[in-house]
Amino acid sequence: MRGYKKPTVSIIGASGYSGAELTKILLRHPSVKLERLYAHTQAGKKVQDLYPALDTDIVFAPYRGEQDTDIYFLALPHGEALSIVPQLADAGKLVIDLSGDFRLKNPKEHLKYYRKDKDARAVLPYAMPELCHDAIKQAKAVSNPGCYATGIILGAAPLVKKPLKGAAVKSVSCTAVSGISGAGRTGKTELSFSEMSGNVRAYKAGMHQHTPEILQALGTNTFEPAFGFMFTPMIAPLVRGIYAVLNIQLEKHLPVSQIREHFRDFYRPAPFVRVRETMTEVQHVAYTNFCDIHIAESAGNGSIVIVTAIDNLVKGAAGQAVQNMNIMLGYDETHGLL
Amino acid sequence: MRGYKKPTVSIIGASGYSGAELTKILLRHPSVKLERLYAHTQAGKKVQDLYPALDTDIVFAPYRGEQDTDIYFLALPHGEALSIVPQLADAGKLVIDLSGDFRLKNPKEHLKYYRKDKDARAVLPYAMPELCHDAIKQAKAVSNPGCYATGIILGAAPLVKKPLKGAAVKSVSCTAVSGISGAGRTGKTELSFSEMSGNVRAYKAGMHQHTPEILQALGTNTFEPAFGFMFTPMIAPLVRGIYAVLNIQLEKHLPVSQIREHFRDFYRPAPFVRVRETMTEVQHVAYTNFCDIHIAESAGNGSIVIVTAIDNLVKGAAGQAVQNMNIMLGYDETHGLL
Amino acid sequence: MRGYKKPTVSIIGASGYSGAELTKILLRHPSVKLERLYAHTQAGKKVQDLYPALDTDIVFAPYRGEQDTDIYFLALPHGEALSIVPQLADAGKLVIDLSGDFRLKNPKEHLKYYRKDKDARAVLPYAMPELCHDAIKQAKAVSNPGCYATGIILGAAPLVKKPLKGAAVKSVSCTAVSGISGAGRTGKTELSFSEMSGNVRAYKAGMHQHTPEILQALGTNTFEPAFGFMFTPMIAPLVRGIYAVLNIQLEKHLPVSQIREHFRDFYRPAPFVRVRETMTEVQHVAYTNFCDIHIAESAGNGSIVIVTAIDNLVKGAAGQAVQNMNIMLGYDETHGLL
Amino acid sequence: MRGYKKPTVSIIGASGYSGAELTKILLRHPSVKLERLYAHTQAGKKVQDLYPALDTDIVFAPYRGEQDTDIYFLALPHGEALSIVPQLADAGKLVIDLSGDFRLKNPKEHLKYYRKDKDARAVLPYAMPELCHDAIKQAKAVSNPGCYATGIILGAAPLVKKPLKGAAVKSVSCTAVSGISGAGRTGKTELSFSEMSGNVRAYKAGMHQHTPEILQALGTNTFEPAFGFMFTPMIAPLVRGIYAVLNIQLEKHLPVSQIREHFRDFYRPAPFVRVRETMTEVQHVAYTNFCDIHIAESAGNGSIVIVTAIDNLVKGAAGQAVQNMNIMLGYDETHGLL
């Protein structure tokens, strides 16, 4: 790209795990220049003092409305992006927001799950490249999917959004194991090593904020979905990963091979989705932007099991965000991500 | 128990994790005397050299048909107990078998899941104290439940075996996380620390050998169950525990509080089952014989989530086996287990 | 012990990990009755709600000077026991203090390492049964050793306190790995699962508060020890255990076998110290009150390596405290601990 | 590097952890082309089937003497490289051997520690860039350092090879914790997750094969070193990392600040060594080629503590190997490694 001036990048909310993962990926990215890392709590601290594995001299600064780079990633706690994104968008910046602030179209839904009021216009294109590639390409500002949502939507979409003849989805019941980094860089006693080593804990059964996000992305009404839906998240003693097991009830039985072929067709254009014949594992995708999918079993009554694995910090957050940036910039989707 | 001569105990297959856990519990048990530990592979080795945490001078010996103690626990690989149990039973010994050999009534089912032919008479009372207390009390030889089966059956039984009016169970879809000790004391590369740290791996989706055991215990036909049933087991980076999430579809909606009360009534006589109002965790039951159950959520469509936790080596194996021994001997069910 | 009224026990500071381990051991102890559990931060909460694995109905209460039981264990943060212990001792109670408040004889040393002034009389017999059995037997109040101190003192004492002819100790340099529970039940970010999984971190190199405790117990001047001494503690991703590697420089070379025999003679009366010919491991002693010692290697120049392992919460805290209680009550030292 | 044909690379012994790490780094390296991956045990298997995180279509092949690439990395079990390296070197290939076969100059030493006879000429330049940059630059074939050796040598070299006035090193006693991946991709029971979780185990105290390698690199006689030396390695429950604690006895006391400055001067030309003022941690260097060093403490008697951390698979193996390749090819030392 000789003679080409690299677009410049800022990360707002750079001191959390998603921000650090974004920093790591963007520092290596051949075609953009990471210039600013904003983080209130760590303002004044050298990035390398907080994350010695990151090879940069940048110092965390508090964000005070600067608009001096071309691209902005926001990895802020839910609620904090609502006021910042519009300003950056109005200034013509490319914006990728990793929070949940702009995902849900229905303010009632947003209020129910995020306990915050928001304007009905506070919605951005849902940036899951495997489902919305063109919308992302044309957008100036997008909302990056949640980690659980990414693993679950990619496991259900081929059957829900493009059902096989006579095999409509009747219900989706999923359980997903998350790495503990999903809770963020925090000092809660219940997330201490002594409490979580040897432990497994479910939470927010059927009430996780990614539930409406998943239903919305699958194209059904979030209050009265067209199919039964139940999602139970849990944490286990690992740092990275979302491992989702989907029990899907179809109207009729289909052989695993047919479902697998359907998935392969569906994801043919998607460089980061791998439909595998062997069981997926978290370690197969850890530190990568891949989503591995395995059609595990199909029972006579039309019940099938689909297992998906991603790295929650990469495909579930920072990696997918950079994948979206690549699409928005017209780069190859995989640029700097392999 | 002054003047009372303690019954003597042998463990056949004592060198595995279940055998070691049995040894630990029985060494502390106030009312029996552990005398013999049989293990072919470790024959001649001092128990304490293999398990230094166990404070005993017993030396592992190969089992050659001895019948010199009152009680026999068998913790052998599947298949090896088939020939030994009848001999001990005929000799009037109390026998508790921890293998899968005598669980399934249907030889076809046994052949399908254990890949071994067995005689239709090779069946023993299924020794889950919470469901079969009287049968165990009268038995001389029993079959101890499997680890996954224990966690799942206890989570589903109140609704399946004693359904609430108009709320029959339509389907049970469960995912369970097991500690890696469930795979036994073994040296497989895929179970090495380097492969399993940071990893999660499902296996045998819908095809695990505990599937027919669960259906049989729940009282339905194992080939054509009265309700949909799908079970996916997985291992995560912890040593002990079975953490089961059950998505149960009822014919109609019931509030969580009503279901919880139903569970409390159902398990009132069961000292080791705790129906908890807060989320269950593996660490709440690790190293104990408790099974904790939490009714997590109930959706309008009659779909509910039940979460159960046990220690796979205790309530899922050795502890339940000693609980059964207590019942067979007329001791208090909790004797030596608290 | 028919007709014998069991002594009653209280734990002050019962909600931390050492307090919980004490509770677990004392609930099972055949010859004492645990009656009161005091904990300010958790006052009013049921013990079982905080530690569901503990089978008791006791509710945490704030300590307000009660003196209604025979025995008091104090597991409080450093500094808080200074005022309570004298009152209980004056009231004729048996007192076992697990804090560092009464260990150091020299107030200057105490000030330096605990940053607290204390009265020169604030000292209690150092209750390491393997070194001070008689003093403990005659005491009404004792100071329970620290976790690192226990592992290191037991590894060095035979050579320092009873040197072999011509083989005085010239220097002791030790590194010890601690389980993270040693930092207590806390919510510090640097002790979160996400920060400690896959991590190792040394701290307080040569400045840990157990340094003077070790030197004092080994009978040398703590400011100008008779031999070189350096101790570096570190934490690794495990919950329980102290694993200490001692590099000891002797005045002359001695064969491993001779040193091992010397250790065996030295610890012959000690039921919980095991001098092993094979390498010690944390899992050999986890959840037990044993201290395993292995003489690993001896080089021609008189340099030897000694490795010790204990469970920091048991032999390093609660277990040793109950061992001391047994001695003070005239029970068998191992009573309720095997 | 327009118009420049990238050198081609083969890895012999590519299926182990070091081989996989080499593959990962070389696939991303901008200026070489990875073409062949040789592995007997996995011959015929797609690399991605064994390591799904590696994005390549290469299939493992058995090595049969091919010489069709410019560069060869050997990551074979000790002993297997002895016959292959000379052939490749004679053919004018660039060779980087990661085994211990060509490290020790003294065949007696090699026999003692590797239990294999070797020719006195079977020695290659010891490729630790921080100590032997020029020798590596001129070499066609080099021997890559061992993992423990790297962490320990880098922590001791500034004081041993360039002693401060009047402060010669009298003794070095070190303990190092290794991630379990250091034992290789293997299925030993003692390395299973169930055995190593919650465990720490030392081994080969004072007898590890890196002992003579360290002494040789530090420039002293390996049988009768000029200073006392004792090294005890141990494994703890983490996958990656070498964390070394060095207790060094100097002839006289020096302040930490002076020693730190000396280290900074010594390593000024070394891009991957970071002398840090805060404590080093494994997570600071995991997945990087950095070696972090912290001068932890200096006691009045001249005893100091130095702590170093590296990733055993990167700076301790594959990363350092690629760093050496860069030097041999005249590339920037950090090329493809940041």
With contact defined as beta carbons under 8 Å apart, do B176 and B243 qualify? Answer: yes
Give me the mean pLDDT over the B176-201 stretch: 97
Which of C148, C191, C200 should one mutate to test binding to chain D, selecting the residue with the greatest count of D CBs within 10 A?
C200
Q: To which H or E segment does residue A304 belong?
A: strand A303-310
Please give the positions of C annotated as active site.
Answer: 147
C-alpha dihedral sign at B212, B213, B214, B219? positive
User: In this complex, is the C-beta atom of D252 within 8 Å of any C-beta atom belonging to chain C?
Assistant: no
User: In this complex, is the C-beta atom of D196 within 8 Å of any C-beta atom belonging to chain B?
Assistant: yes
User: In this complex, is the C-beta atom of C288 within 8 Å of any C-beta atom belonging to chain D?
Assistant: no
- Measured CA to CA, the distance from residue D124 to residue D101 in angstroms comes to 9
- Measured CA to CA, the distance from residue D315 to residue D288 in angstroms comes to 7
In this complex, do C55 and B288 lie within 8 Å of one another by their Cβ atoms?
Answer: yes
- Three-class secondary structure assignment of A131-185: HHHHHHHHCCEEECCCHHHHHHHHHHHHHHCCCCCCCCEEEEEEEEEECHHHHCC
Give the distance from residue A302's alpha carbon to the nearest chain D alpha carbon, in angstroms: 30
ipTM of the complex: 0.96
- Measured CA to CA, the distance from residue D148 to residue D159 in angstroms comes to 18
Indicate whether D4 pLDDT > 80.
Answer: no
- Measured CA to CA, the distance from residue C275 to residue C257 in angstroms comes to 11
- Measured CA to CA, the distance from residue D116 to residue D79 in angstroms comes to 7
- Measured CA to CA, the distance from residue A148 to residue A312 in angstroms comes to 8
User: In this complex, is the C-beta atom of B288 within 8 Å of any C-beta atom belonging to chain C?
Assistant: yes
**D286 chain-C contacts, CB cut-off 8 A:** 198-199
**A278 chain-D contacts, CB cut-off 8 A:** 49
In this complex, do B52 and C285 lie within 8 Å of one another by their Cβ atoms?
Answer: yes
C244: its two tokens: 């200490």
In this complex, do D303 and C202 lie within 8 Å of one another by their Cβ atoms?
Answer: no
Closest by Cβ to C305, choosing from D177, D206, D283 = D206
Q: Which residues contact B130 (CB under 8 A, 6 or more apart)?
A: B154, B157, B267, B270, B272, B273
**C183 chain-A contacts, CB cut-off 8 A:** 194
Cα→Cα distances D46→A309, C97, D38, Å: 20, 62, 11
Q: Give the pairing type, strands A8-12 and A33-38.
A: parallel
- Measured CA to CA, the distance from residue A30 to residue A17 in angstroms comes to 22
Give me the mean pLDDT over the D86-91 stretch: 97
The predicted pLDDT at position C272 comes to 98
In this complex, do A193 and C197 lie within 8 Å of one another by their Cβ atoms?
Answer: yes
Give me the mean pLDDT over the A38-67 stretch: 96
Q: Which domains does chain C have, with CATH numbers?
A: 8-145+316-329 (3.40.50.720), 148-312 (3.30.360.10)
In this complex, do C194 and A185 lie within 8 Å of one another by their Cβ atoms?
Answer: yes
> What is the dihedral angle through the alpha carbons of C45, C46, C47, C49, rounded to the nearest 10 degrees?
-90
The predicted pLDDT at position A1 comes to 45
Q: Give the model confidence (pLDDT) of C102-147 as tens digits.
A: 999 999 999 999 999 999 999 999 999 999 999 999 999 999 999 9
User: In this complex, is the C-beta atom of B298 within 8 Å of any C-beta atom belonging to chain D?
Assistant: no
The predicted pLDDT at position D3 comes to 58
User: In this complex, is the C-beta atom of A278 within 8 Å of any C-beta atom belonging to chain C?
Assistant: no
**B292 chain-C contacts, CB cut-off 8 A:** 52
Q: Give the model confidence (pLDDT) of B41-91 as tens digits.
A: 999 999 999 999 998 999 999 999 999 999 999 999 999 999 999 999 999
- Measured CA to CA, the distance from residue A118 to residue A104 in angstroms comes to 10
Q: pLDDT grade, residue A196 (50/70/90)?
A: very high
Give the distance from residue B158's alpha carbon to the nearest chain A alpha carbon, in angstroms: 20
Q: To which H or E segment does residue A284 belong?
A: helix A282-285
- Measured CA to CA, the distance from residue A334 to residue A320 in angstroms comes to 10
For residue A37, give the nearest of A6, A72, A70 by alpha carbon: A72
**D292 chain-A contacts, CB cut-off 8 A:** 52
Give the distance from residue D193's alpha carbon to the nearest chain C alpha carbon, in angstroms: 12
User: In this complex, is the C-beta atom of A198 within 8 Å of any C-beta atom belonging to chain D?
Assistant: yes
User: In this complex, is the C-beta atom of A45 within 8 Å of any C-beta atom belonging to chain D?
Assistant: no
Q: Give the model confidence (pLDDT) of C256-273 as tens digits.
A: 999 999 999 999 999 999
Which of D284, D307, D308 should one mutate to test binding to chain A, selecting the residue with the greatest count of A CBs within 10 A?
D284
- Three-class secondary structure assignment of chain B: CCCCCCCEEEEECCCCHHHHHHHHHHHHCCCCEEEEEECCCCCCCEHHHHCCCCCCCCECECCCCCCCCCEEEECCCCCCCCCHHHHHHHCCCEEEECCCCCCCCCHHHHHHHHCCCCCCCCCCCECCHHHHHHHHHHCCEEECCCHHHHHHHHHHHHHHCCCCCCCCEEEEEEEEEECHHHHCCCCCHHHEHHHHCCCCEECCCCCCCHHHHHHHHCCCCCCCCCCEEEEEEEECCCCCCEEEEEEEEECCCCCHHHHHHHHHHHCCCCCCEEEECCCCEHHHHCCCCCEEEEEEEECCCCEEEEEEEECCCHHHHHHHHHHHHHHHHCCCCCCCCC
Indicate whether A212 pLDDT > 50.
Answer: yes
- Measured CA to CA, the distance from residue D146 to residue D131 in angstroms comes to 14
For residue A282, give the nearest of A333, A230, A235 by alpha carbon: A235
Q: Which residues contact C266 (CB under 8 A, 6 or more apart)?
A: C157, C158, C162
- Measured CA to CA, the distance from residue A104 to residue A111 in angstroms comes to 10
Expressed in percent and rounded to 5, the helix, strand and coil fractions of chain A are 30, 20, 45
The predicted pLDDT at position D1 comes to 45
Compute the count of residue pairs across chains A and B with CB atoms less than 8 Å apart. Answer: 153
> What is the dihedral angle through the alpha carbons of A134, A139, A143, A146, rounded to the nearest 10 degrees?
20
Give me the mean pLDDT over the A75-90 stretch: 96
- Measured CA to CA, the distance from residue A294 to residue A235 in angstroms comes to 21
The predicted pLDDT at position A224 comes to 86
In this complex, do C228 and D201 lie within 8 Å of one another by their Cβ atoms?
Answer: no
> Would you give the DSSP letter of residue A229?
E
Closest by Cβ to A237, choosing from B175, B207, B238 = B238
Q: Give the model confidence (pLDDT) of C272-327 as tens digits.
A: 999 999 999 999 999 999 999 999 988 878 999 999 999 999 999 999 999 999 99
- Measured CA to CA, the distance from residue A197 to residue B151 in angstroms comes to 21
A38: its two tokens: 């904003």
CA nearest to B237 within chain D:
D193
Q: Which residue has the higher pLDDT, C206 or A283?
A: A283
CA nearest to A240 within chain C:
C194
In this complex, do D301 and C228 lie within 8 Å of one another by their Cβ atoms?
Answer: yes
Q: Give the model confidence (pLDDT) of A1-33 as tens digits.
A: 455 799 999 999 999 999 999 999 999 999 999
Give me the mean pLDDT over the A145-172 stretch: 97
**Given a contact as 3+ CB pairs under 8 Å, which chains touch D?**
A, B, C
User: In this complex, is the C-beta atom of B292 within 8 Å of any C-beta atom belonging to chain C?
Assistant: yes
In this complex, do B202 and A237 lie within 8 Å of one another by their Cβ atoms?
Answer: no
Indicate whether D2 pLDDT > 60.
Answer: no
User: In this complex, is the C-beta atom of B3 within 8 Å of any C-beta atom belonging to chain C?
Assistant: no
Q: Give the model confidence (pLDDT) of B22-35 as tens digits.
A: 999 999 999 999 99
The predicted pLDDT at position A27 comes to 97
Q: What b-and-e string marks burial along D225-245, b requiring 16 or more CB atoms within 10 Å of the CB?
A: bebbbbbbbbbbbbbbbbbbb
Q: To which H or E segment does residue C108 belong?
A: helix C107-114
With contact defined as beta carbons under 8 Å apart, do D320 and D127 qualify? Answer: yes
Task: Kindly list the strands in the beta sheet with D201-202, ordered across the sheet, starting from the edge strand earlier in the chain.
Answer: D201-202, D228-235, D169-178, D242-250, D303-310, D291-298, D273-276
- Measured CA to CA, the distance from residue B206 to residue B210 in angstroms comes to 10
Is this prediction's pTM over 0.95? yes
Q: To which H or E segment does residue D87 belong?
A: helix D84-90
User: In this complex, is the C-beta atom of D240 within 8 Å of any C-beta atom belonging to chain C?
Assistant: yes
With contact defined as beta carbons under 8 Å apart, do D332 and D321 qualify? Answer: no
The predicted pLDDT at position C3 comes to 57
Give the distance from residue C283's alpha carbon to the nearest chain D alpha carbon, in angstroms: 5
User: In this complex, is the C-beta atom of D197 within 8 Å of any C-beta atom belonging to chain B?
Assistant: yes
> Would you give the DSSP letter of residue D220?
S
Q: How far is C-alpha A161 from the geometric centre of its chain's CA atoms? A: 19
CA nearest to C271 within chain B:
B55
In this complex, do C228 and D238 lie within 8 Å of one another by their Cβ atoms?
Answer: no
User: Helix (H, G, I), strand (E, B), or coil: what is residue C274?
Assistant: strand
- Measured CA to CA, the distance from residue B59 to residue B45 in angstroms comes to 6
User: In this complex, is the C-beta atom of C62 within 8 Å of any C-beta atom belonging to chain A?
Assistant: no
Which of B178, B192, B240, B312 should one mutate to test binding to chain D, selecting the residue with the greatest count of D CBs within 10 A?
B192
Catalytic annotation present for A132: no
